[in-house]
Chain A
Amino acid sequence: MNQKTNILMAGVGGQGVLLASEILSDVMMNAGFDVKKSEVHGMAQRGGSVTSHVIIGEKVYSPIIRKGEADILFSFEILETMRYLDYLKKDAVILVNNQKILPPSVSMGKDVYPDQSIELLNSHYKNVSVVNALDLARQAGNPKALNVVFIGALSRHFQEDESLWHKAIEKILPPKLVPLNIKAFGLGRNA
């Protein structure tokens, strides 16, 4: 049986979602799995909703996850989490970065931000983890490292050794940012 793990990443353009999916994919490739990942560039990057689909298995065909099939929803923003629940399997894991970024209609006072989201998630799903990635990133030395903090939190859900994750960070990030991001990763992993 060809077992697959489907991870749907969601967030807002500029939060570093694509770099996070790059790190996860690199780790899984080096752990010997087939990996496909898919995202859309271009217009969506201008502050819009961003998703990245990562699929891991012995042999992967489709580069996108179909609705109802995601094992993990890895969401960088509270409202964006709510947008993709129909992608989840029944007993899926949800990781949420505890951050609110107001969409334009909320900023203008026309729509209301769904402040009850985390409570709603907790009342409907057994496996919800809320991570304060932005605070931990500041603690690591740079708020921009929130994506690496958050990937640290995700890494707990996989068996792969921590050294593989460190190697991926060293490979993908510019050398001068590596020490800070290794620290950020550790804070997320142990959060």
Chain B
Amino acid sequence: MRTINEINEKIKNGQVVVLTAEEVIELVEKKGIKKAAQEVDVVTTGTFGPMCSSGAYFNIGHSKPRIKIGGGTCTLNDVPCYTGFAAVDIYLGATAIPDDDPRNKIYPGEFKYGGAHVIQEIVAGSDVRLEAVAYGTDCYPRKKLETLINIKDLNEAVLFNIRNAYQNYNVAVNLSDKPIYTYLGMLKPNLGNANYCSAGQLSPLLKDPYYKTIGIGTKIFLGGGIGYVAWQGTQHNPSIPRKENGIPKVPGGTLAVIGDLKQMKPEWLVGTSMLGYGVTLVVGIGVPIPVLNEEVIQYAAAKDKDICAPVVDYSSNYPQIIPGSLGEVNYEQLKSGKIIIQGKEVPTGNLSSYSRARLIAEELKSWIKKGDFTLTEPVAKLPQAESGYGFKLLKERSIITKEV
């Protein structure tokens, strides 16, 4: 029907037709798949949820005299960074927290500040305090460094998230008689609430369930700037059960993404605290889907009603890895504010901001229409549904070697 090159020509000529995933649902309902596929060149998607496997690396520039932070220790606003690289390259993970944070010793811990908050402050242009201790070498003699740093002075500041944009997710509930504090929020006892985390019909990988257009090298909206799909995300699991419409019934594919932090904005990278759980980064991601053929738009037009998620008990089943779900609900039901589980009406809460996901899809649409954002051809496919690629549990083995 059309190629990515043809779409890019249209973008340059200002003739491209772009709709958000919500708008394309309406169009397909009104005019049908065939007509919609003829009319629309690109569908934009969006998601804005907590994504723990996020972080950023920085090259801070060499001090005078030189210091080799590699192999030493380094903190940014007291939050420890990973230093196992060369002299002045450091990586800050979203979930890192200061050594003196009480964690869950006072239960449930508040986790007020961590790596995600530092990343948001750095993106906002605030100075942050770097403290590093090194062992000193002949060529890197300095052993201590304390300085303010600012994103504008760093050589590189790159967001590199190894797992984002989960394709579907569990709906978490609590069957026990005590409140529990999870990465899906506080769960009240005895099915007091059901928390979910997906943009549903706006979510990138739910609109391209077989990864036909989204692949390695796909250019995306990332944190308010431009990023790329770097690889499949960790725990990418294409080999899961799917509905007849191809959409995974359980958490499926994931993306690893990368982009220049200097272009990003603090409203699209938000440091958050999950009570009793930890710190995490809410990341804004938008992926354009090129309408290459009718099949692509058919998948992109999946509605909340067509997307189902499993209801999982987080008091026992999830932590103990006991298989079993309490049923399936679709996103239309979840978004109505109430679902029925075991005959009980349970109020729902979303951890992923649908209104922000909508803004991302709209923003990406406006970039493409203005000619600021062209599409890329993926350089390689993500592991596909039939590939046999999946993820396994850890097989624990004894480290005590037997005497011969």
A binds B: no
Give the A-binding residues of B (Cβ under 8 A).
none
